[in-house]
A and B are shown apart, each in its own frame.
Chain A
Amino acid sequence: MIVKVHLSSHVRAYTSGARTVEAEGDTLAAVLTDLDRRYPGLRFRIVDEQDRLRQHMNFFVGGKSVRDLKSPVAPGQEVHILGALSGG
């Protein structure tokens, strides 16, 4: 299943600047794996080696905040990967 993934500026360097890209998968984990296949290196910047989502990155599936890689992505749902509003 192809899903639409929206990205904040933090990771667009990996997508040649694209704000919205496509990836395949029916869970957040699968979507991220496919994203990394398409845009090498991206996943490790937002998910650590223990499969924990980086603290200051937020993930939304169908508009709902999720922190679990096993979260399902239903047909028609879109994924947002956004930097938290933190900085300084």
Chain B
Amino acid sequence: MAKHKSADKGKSSKSSAGKAKRASKKAGRTVAKATGKASKARRIGLLVGTVKGAFYLGTDNKRKKWKLEGPHFLGNEVNHWVLDPRTRKTMLVAAVTGHLGPTVFRSTDSGMTWKEATRPPAFPKAAEGQQAPAVKRTFYLAPGHESQPGVWWAGTVPHALFKSEDDGVSWDPVVGFNSYIEGLRAKNEMYFGETPGGAITHSILIDPRDAQHMYVGLSTGGTFETSDGGRTWRGLNQNVSVVDFFPEKFPEYGQDPHCVVMNRANPDRLYQQNHCGVYRLDRPGERWERIGENLPKKVGDIGFGVVTHPRDADTVWVFPMDGTEVWPRTSPEGKPAVFKSENGGKSWKRHAKGFPSEQGWFTVFRQALKSDALDPLGLYLGTTAGEIWVSRDEGESWKPVVSYLPRILSIEVAER
């Protein structure tokens, strides 16, 4: 691996988290191989973020054999590791450690070499005597619209949106969003409270037909939309309920979308797995429909992640977790299962083949339930117990392919 180049001055250096970068050499090779032009066969791999580092899980299009590489960025809490689908070479990693502040590492050669962002996401410095927040972690990274090469978006804890126009080297606050959310929060702090992971801005969804049109999810806060590239925003939370101890059942904002996804085949179709149920929205409609009510009552419709089929807007998967009483957030009755709908949530079918039939207490975080786009589609889930489970048949049967990893925070499918 080439020496890490200090991002600020362009000097060759082993510094600036050089250890992490040197440790990532193998990851780079693996990903480069998986995404390289030499191979015409479609190859995929999983970019896995954990509380103790990142791991690469490589395979081929058969998805039968898997090879684990890592850890990379050992000791860093990696919330998100994303490959840019526009270049298939640029990757960003959102990282923080127990002692050091949050940063973003970037590679422009499929992970062969890494540099640290010169200006990671950070709030403006407060005026003398004033208080202002500091970024605790970058939680979510999103490559920009295909027509905007080099543009990336980042959602952070606490709530904020940042944008990079130089491929992740430097980041600026999205003032329109941040001031809008701060204004709402000032009016009603209860509706923008912290989850155990903080006040999380996530699910940055960009309309493939219109670079100016985006959605963002806030835990807590709700789902918000912009039609002018982030300058102005509006809530999109009709008919989405909040927890029953809030003063209103259906406020204008204050909901807790754990994960919002846009269908690739039909970008007007959104799904969200909320703290309070599973919902579908068909734009230009404004009113979400609670499709989770069609799940079995004893299972409920609480969970973190949701996945929709890249070629079929009516197909959607969720992984329900227990949301009763003290919110255990683990498989109901210790029986992990994926529920799949092929009609937009009107009905659901349980799929548990391969999962433990009892005493299986899975917790799967919002960014750890993902799919590829192969045919048949593959589904992936990573648990807080460090297991990765794979389905090669669109969720009908499952097999564990990795155990004993640290707590898994995120999975992204790198595909070419």
Contact = CB atoms under 8 A, between A and B. Distances in A.
A14 B17 contact: yes
Contacts of B135: 48-49
B125 A50 contact: yes
Contact of A10 (B15, B100, B126): B100
A50 B15 CA distance: 24
A44 B122 contact: yes
B9 interface: yes
Contact of A46 (B15, B100, B123, B125): B100
Interface stretch (A59-67, A69-77, A80-88): A80-88
Given A40-B8, A40-B9, A41-B6, A13 B123 contact: no
Contacts of B123: 49-50
Contacts of A16: 13-15, 18
Nearest to B9: A40
Contact of B15 (A15, A83, A84, A88): A15
A19 interface: no
Nearest to B14: A16
Contacts of A46: 100-101
A51 interface: yes
Given A48-B134, A49-B134, A50-B132, A39 B15 contact: yes
Given A41-B7, A51-B125, A14 B15 contact: yes
Interface in B105-154: 116, 118, 120, 122-126, 131-135
Query: How many residues of A sit at the interface, in one of the four size bands?
Result: 20 to 34
Given A40-B9, A40-B16, A84 B99 contact: yes
B100 A11 contact: yes
Contacts of A51: 125
Nearest to A56: B99
Contacts of A15: 15
Contacts of B16: 13-14, 39-42
A41 B101 contact: no
A44 B101 contact: yes
A68 to B, nearest CB: 15
A45 B132 CA distance: 18
Nearest to A43: B101
A54 B6 contact: no
Contacts of B122: 44, 48-49
Contacts of B97: 10
A13 B14 CA distance: 7
A83 B103 CA distance: 17
A45 B117 CA distance: 12
A7 B93 CA distance: 25
B7 A40 contact: yes
B99 A83 contact: yes
A29 interface: no
Contacts of B368: none
Interface in B1-52: 6-9, 13-20
B98 interface: yes
A83 B101 CA distance: 12
B13 A54 contact: no
Contacts of A3: none
Contact of A13 (B8, B18, B133): B18
A57 interface: yes
30 contacts: A10-B99, A10-B100, A13-B14, A13-B16, A13-B18, A13-B19, A16-B14, A17-B14, A39-B15, A40-B6, A40-B16, A41-B8, A41-B15, A41-B16, A41-B17, A44-B101, A44-B103, A45-B101, A45-B103, A46-B101, A47-B101, A48-B101, A49-B122, A50-B126, A50-B133, A52-B134, A57-B99, A57-B100, A84-B99, A87-B98
